[in-house]
Amino acid sequence: MSAIDIAAAVRTGNRSAVDVLDEHLNRIDERESEIHAFNLVLAEEARVQAEAIDAKVAAGEDPGPLAGVPVALKDNMCTRGIPTTCSSKILEGWIPPYDATVVTRLADAGAVFVGKTNLDEFAMGSSTENSAFGATHNPLDITRVPGGSSGGSAASVAAGFAALGIGSDTGGSVRQPAAFCGVVGMKPTYGAVSRYGLIAFASSLDQIGPFAADVADAATLFDVIAGHDPLDTTSIVDFIPSATASLDLGVEGLRVGVVQELSGGVGSVQGISPDVIARTRVAVEALAAAGAVVDEVSVPSAPLGLSAYYLVAPAEASSNLARYDGVRFGLRVDADTTGEMNTATRTAGFGEEVKRRIMLGTYALSAGYYDAFYGKALKVRTMMLDDFASVYQKFDVLITPTAPTTAFPLGERSADPMTMYVNDVCTIPSNLVGHPGISVPFGVGDDGLPVGVQVLAPATHDAQTFRVGAVLEAAAKEEVTS
Amino acid sequence: MSERITRDEVVHVARLARLRLTDTEIDRFTEQLGDVLNHAADVESLDVGDVSPTSHPLPLVNVVRLDQLVESLDRSELLAQAPFAEAGQFRVPPVLGEEP
């Protein structure tokens, strides 16, 4: 049952929110032990929320647009009174004293939180293997990764543990796991969704985004969580979400560009699987058949995104994560002096990937290397902004694969950071420039696992990604039934 | 493959980042950070000329509000999350007399 259908049934009293919750908790009982999507299942808290929704319906009050819809929340968003771990030992025992704005908005909309989902520690990773609490497994094939870093939320939606999921996307952490788990995932324009209460990884790149089983549900969730928030100084003041209103517009006359550097075309980055490229081509043909005007397009700076990202994101992370010093929250390992205590706490509390990125960022920002690495990476961001601005003179949206491959086996890439980082090559550019992007499932690869196709649009044109995504989704369905 | 980052540099960076690494970790990070920096040679070697840097995707502006009292988070609730608090303050081990 879709989130839209659940909300409609609960709002009209045809189904109780408690009944909906029980159905999802039952699925969690059945499969969570083999998937490990959650750091914490909130069975009791969710029941209190669901009962409150049912009471509102009974009293004739408006229970909200997401009434009774079970939502899985990535465990890097603050929930008042409920532990928030970032899948890190360093936040051990910490209980946030406030709610993230997305949490407040979802609760006000009548959503029911079924649990806090697993992630790569501090959202640093592409497989959800870098969690201090163990890896999440892909519900479609438990020997494979679910993608990451929002792997727990993606897996929750794919396994039917929740109708909707919330993730955060710094370099592809919503879109790539969506592609791997065969669900829809979207990264909004930077500033479209409030980051208040999202624990920072790389502040100029982080955005919260929706997961859902289909495009219409994702659009509904987007419209609830997006919009201005005075508590986030980077929140866009006049952003009015309009995703659901754009779903039926079709693509007649829409100008669609296929980014050749990220789709196996001229000058393409290496490593994109032939089956993924083939599926992307079929998706583009489907858009053309639906009336879109399709052409190849070059974004010359796109291949530089990977290197720029792995300098900028660690640099910002090294600064953001300086706050974990054993003084104000979470873990403290005692020592004779404050300096020794800081070092002992951070050494014990951070996992290996987080240490690696802090080291990389500290190096990129250090005297003698700042200009060569961090400074250059910031100039690449300008080049990418200019390239996209010029491409969007001629095109309304752009198409690429979401990830170079389908879901890979657990353990396959965890020993070699660089092979893991390459996963993000198609998703990273939109983070560096702050543009929106959606991943929509579009058939399967040679291994039978889902392939995601990505739709990119200019800043604040988030609705366009849902509009094109809806057409792709319909084409994929038609392909299966015909 | 030329050595992009030396073992000594890794030790120095770890000290700046307040991390203590084992010898095995130093070896591993030296190699792995070297791999990433080798990949980043495409950015490092770029002739960017007079391109201006972009540190943020949005034009950032100061956000101000009226100077009015509003409800804020409760101090005792915040301090309750600290590993060690006393008399309304965070408590830490001695700071003075340490090496900088």
Confidence label for B1 from pLDDT (cuts 50, 70 and 90): very low
Positive or negative, the CA dihedral B76, B79, B83, B88 is negative
Within a domain: residue B81? no
CA distance A276 to chain B (A): 24
DSSP A73: E
Cβ within 8 Å of A, B 70-99: 73-74, 77-78, 81-84, 90, 92-95, 97-99
Domains of chain A and any CATH numbers: 3-246 (3.90.1300.10), 255-307+371-481 (3.90.1300.10)
CA distance A320 to chain B (A): 12
Distance from C-alpha of A251 to C-alpha of A266, rounded to nearest angstrom: 26
Distance from C-alpha of B58 to C-alpha of B56, rounded to nearest angstrom: 6
Contact A154, A165 (CB under 8 A): yes
CA distance B12 to chain A (A): 9
Distance from C-alpha of A283 to C-alpha of A473, rounded to nearest angstrom: 9
Residues of A within 8 A of B92 (CB-CB) are 327, 338, 341
Q: Which domain covers residue B31, as residue numbers?
A: 1-45
Which residues are paired to A164 by β-bridges?
A71, A212
Within a domain: residue B100? no
Partner residue opposite A378 with nearest CB, options B40, B54, B90: B54
Active site residues of A: 74, 149, 173
B53–A310 C-beta distance less than 8 A: no
Partner residue opposite B58 with nearest CB, options A190, A318, A375: A190
pLDDT tens, residue order, chain A (482 aa)? 999 999 999 999 999 999 999 999 999 999 999 999 999 999 999 999 999 999 999 999 999 999 999 999 999 999 999 999 999 999 999 999 999 999 999 999 999 999 999 999 999 999 999 999 999 999 999 999 999 999 999 999 999 999 999 999 999 999 999 999 999 999 999 999 999 999 999 999 999 999 999 999 999 999 999 999 999 999 999 999 999 999 999 999 999 999 999 999 999 999 999 999 999 999 999 999 999 999 999 999 999 999 999 999 999 999 999 999 999 999 999 999 999 999 999 999 999 999 999 999 999 999 888 999 999 999 999 999 999 999 999 999 999 999 999 999 999 998 899 899 999 999 999 999 999 999 999 999 999 999 999 999 999 999 999 999 999 999 999 998 87
Domain at B34, CATH number = 1.10.20.60
Within a domain: residue B33? yes
CA distance A293 to chain B (A): 29
Within a domain: residue B99? no
Within a domain: residue B41? yes
Whether B99 has a pLDDT exceeding 70, the answer reads no
B39–A346 C-beta distance less than 8 A: no
Partner residue opposite A341 with nearest CB, options B14, B48, B92: B92
A347–B20 C-beta distance less than 8 A: yes
Predicted ipTM beyond 0.90: yes
Average pLDDT over residues B6-16: 96
Angle at A122 between CA A405 and CA B63, to 5 degrees: 110
For every residue of A283-344, DSSP letters joined together read HHHHHHHTT-EEEEE--TTGGGHHHHHHHHHHHHHHHHGGG-SSSSSS-----SSHHHHHHH
Mutate to test the interface with A, among B3, B7, B12, B13 (most CBs of A within 10 A): B13
Higher pLDDT: A306 or B96? It is A306
DSSP A363: H
pLDDT score of B43: 93
Within a domain: residue B71? no
Within a domain: residue B11? yes
pLDDT score of B48: 87
Residues of A within 8 A of B81 (CB-CB) are 94-95, 97, 328-330
Residues of A within 8 A of B74 (CB-CB) are 97
Share of chain B above pLDDT 70, in %: 94
pLDDT score of B58: 86
Within a domain: residue B19? yes
pLDDT score of B98: 62
Partner residue opposite A329 with nearest CB, options B44, B82, B93: B82
pLDDT score of B96: 80
Say if A95 is an interface residue toward chain B (CB within 8 Å): yes
Distance from C-alpha of A145 to C-alpha of A127, rounded to nearest angstrom: 6
Task: Tell me how many domains chain B contains.
Answer: 1
